[in-house]
């Protein structure tokens, strides 16, 4: 009868878990339960192995190279996907050995699945620093707090050099560096290089019960980077990661399991204030140049230096920021600091000259300050654009970021001109500047209306802005349009409205960005 259990002949004594043979007839369920008793989980096998051989030093040396890499080689993690069970023993061991903070983790375990092509396929993935051949973290650091060991290829973070700016977090496409609020610096995996130097396996390698992680030597060079690094992971050509994923074929259409999660990114409020206020100050100053209006010059100074002060709040170790010149060759953050330092005296001179007593060459000084303000101010804003464009985040690509940043400058320049010399033409220029800035923003957000559009970073941004960040987006648009309308009545009343609107726009800039990372946790990332 359908649904009845099949009766099987007695199991031979050699195959039964029961040591006392019996002629009792067993059901299929009885047989499966008996066989289950003979099976061991990876953890049980791991425990038995340790009990049988307490000194496992020689065993763990089989999981690491015993000689240093030769020319054209470096150390790398190798992850056997068919062995990874997602148990997070590697995460726990790394956390314990390195004494990490409660919410700090240098290794993550995430998941990828087959997507629409192979929906039944899934795989857990353990990941840490990839010790890239061209590390974005090292190239972006303004103070040289990273080094790549010439002998081993390990990318190390120099804690005592770090100023806690967190730019390396934005530069790394794999979300590897982690900010430690307790110490005011960034830290990351260093492959337990001290242990490797003594012939001992790193914590993650030694703790994995299935030996899914090991250290190997890999060839270096552009041709050595596997084209199929890991489907669902960020583009490997950006930094050329060295981790090798083996043991199981991954479908090319595989995607990160958390790709569709609409989780806003960190707001980075000090950077929101710094970018918005410095750009507003530059714009206000440029708009009032030549108008003889002291009020706009003073207001431009107040806005600009308020932004400069806010930038210090983003540094975990601000007293070390004087070392920014060490990164001028590779870091746009170093170049931004230099550019703003060159521009900073100009607004002070412009604002102070009307109150200064007459002195020789006063007119010449005023003329030089007025002529140098536009190129130096716009150069400083350009370096800010490049900082975010250089992260390779699609939502921060040059055309969009330049439109946002220079749009802020243009809006406040037009408003400053209207404040210094009110006229219908000045009002029209202000309205055009604000509208021209919000049109690209609205165009991106409009993508969320297409329910059948294929996933893209821009679509992810749009869905965040029309979903979890919807009220912020709507408030930004309403305030910007209201500022234009109010300017027709009294331009000074537009100033606070425009400041708040631009503040919300810059919050959206950070929180709605699609930030690439390795498949990992579904929660928001904790940045400084």
Q: Do 19 and 35 touch, CB atoms closer than 8 A? A: no
Write the pLDDT tens digit of every residue in 455-478: 999 999 999 999 999 999 999 999
- Whether the per-residue pLDDT at 22 is higher than 80: the answer is no
Please give the CATH topology (third level) of the domain spanning 270-511.
Formate dehydrogenase/DMSO reductase fold (1.20.1630)
Q: How far apart are CA 192 and CA 77, in angstroms?
A: 12
What pLDDT does 94 receive?
Answer: 95
Categorize the per-residue pLDDT at 5 as very low, low, confident or very high, splitting at 50, 70 and 90: very low
Domains of the chain, by residue range, sit at 7-36, 48-256, 270-511
Are the folds of 48-256 and 270-511 the same? Answer: no
Extract the tokens encoding 110: 């995430």
Write the pLDDT tens digit of every residue in 293-330: 888 999 999 999 999 999 999 999 999 999 999 999 99
Rounded mean pLDDT of 225-231? 77
Give me the architecture of the 48-256 domain, per CATH.
2-Layer Sandwich (3.30)
pTM of this structure: 0.87
Between these two residues, 277 and 525, which has the higher pLDDT value? 277
Among 35-44, 156-165, 223-232, 378-387, which is the least confidently predicted range?
Answer: 35-44
For residue 148, what are the β-bridge partners?
155
Question: What is the CA angle 80-81-87, rounded to 5?
Answer: 100
Burial class from Cβ neighbours inside 10 Å (0-12, 13-18, 19+) for residue 502 reads buried
Extract the tokens encoding 278: 């410095």
Angle, helices 398-420/424-446, rounded to nearest 10 degrees: 160
Extract the tokens encoding 266: 């960190």
Write the pLDDT tens digit of every residue in 77-127: 999 999 999 999 999 999 999 999 888 899 999 999 988 888 889 999 999
Rounded mean pLDDT of 62-75? 91
Write the pLDDT tens digit of every residue in 170-208: 999 999 999 998 999 999 999 999 999 998 999 999 999
Write the pLDDT tens digit of every residue in 334-376: 999 999 999 999 999 999 988 888 888 888 999 999 999 999 9
Q: How far apart are CA 139 and CA 154, in angstroms?
A: 15
What is the number of alpha carbons within 13 Å of residue 231 lying toward its C-beta?
16
């Amino acid at each position: 009868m359908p649904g009845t259990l099949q009766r099987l002949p007695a199991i031979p004594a050699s195959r039964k878990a029961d040591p006392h043979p019996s002629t009792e007839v067993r059901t299929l369920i009885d047989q499966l339960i008996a066989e289950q008793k003979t099976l061991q989980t990876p953890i049980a096998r791991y425990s038995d192995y340790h009990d049988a051989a307490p000194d496992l030093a020689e065993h763990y040396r089989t999981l690491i190279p015993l000689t240093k890499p030769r020319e054209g080689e470096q150390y790398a993690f190798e992850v056997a996907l068919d062995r990874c069970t997602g148990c997070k023993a590697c995460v726990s061991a790394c956390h314990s050995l390195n004494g990490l903070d409660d919410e700090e983790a240098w290794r993550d375990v995430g998941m990828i699945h087959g997507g629409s092509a192979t929906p039944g396929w899934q795989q857990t993935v353990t990941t840490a620093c990839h010790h890239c051949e061209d590390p974005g973290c090292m190239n972006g650091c303004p103070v040289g707090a990273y080094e790549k060991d010439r002998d081993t290829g390990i990318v190390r973070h120099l804690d005592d050099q770090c100023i806690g700016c967190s730019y390396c977090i934005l530069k790394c496409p794999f979300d590897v560096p982690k900010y430690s609020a307790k110490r005011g610096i960034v830290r990351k995996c260093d492959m337990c290089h001290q242990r490797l130097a003594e012939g001992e396996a790193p914590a993650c390698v030694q703790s994995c019960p299935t030996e899914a992680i090991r250290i190997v030597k890999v060839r270096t060079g552009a041709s050595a980077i596997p084209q199929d690094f890991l489907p669902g992971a960020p583009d490997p050509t950006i930094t050329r990661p060295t981790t090798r994923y083996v043991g199981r074929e991954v479908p090319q259409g595989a995607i990160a399991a958390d790709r569709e999660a609409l989780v806003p990114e960190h707001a980075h409020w000090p950077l929101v204030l710094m970018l918005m206020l410095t750009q507003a100050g530059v714009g206000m100053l440029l708009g009032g140049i030549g108008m003889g209006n002291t009020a706009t010059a003073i207001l431009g100074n107040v806005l600009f230096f308020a932004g400069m002060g806010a930038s210090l709040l983003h540094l975990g170790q601000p007293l070390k920021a004087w070392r920014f010149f060490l990164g001028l060759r590779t870091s746009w953050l170093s170049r931004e600091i230099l550019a703003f330092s060159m521009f900073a005296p100009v607004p002070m001179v412009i604002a102070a000259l009307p109150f200064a007593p007459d002195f020789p060459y006063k007119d010449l000084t005023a003329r030089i300050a007025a002529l140098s303000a536009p190129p130096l101010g716009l150069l400083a804003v350009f370096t800010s654009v490049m900082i975010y464009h250089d992260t390779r985040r699609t939502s921060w690509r040059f055309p969009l970021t330049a439109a946002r940043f220079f749009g802020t400058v243009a809006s406040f320049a037009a408003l400053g001109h209207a404040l210094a010399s009110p006229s219908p033409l000045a009002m029209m220029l202000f309205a055009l500047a604000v509208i021209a800035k919000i049109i690209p923003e609205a165009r991106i957000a409009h993508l969320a209306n297409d329910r059948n559009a294929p996933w893209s970073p821009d679509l992810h941004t749009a869905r965040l802005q029309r979903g979890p960040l919807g009220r912020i987006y709507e408030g930004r648009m309403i305030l910007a349009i209201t500022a234009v309308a109010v300017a027709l009545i009294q331009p000074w009343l537009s100033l606070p409205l425009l400041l708040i609107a631009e503040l919300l726009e810059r919050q959206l800039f950070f929180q709605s960005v699609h930030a690439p990372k390795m498949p990992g946790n579904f929660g928001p990332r904790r940045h400084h």
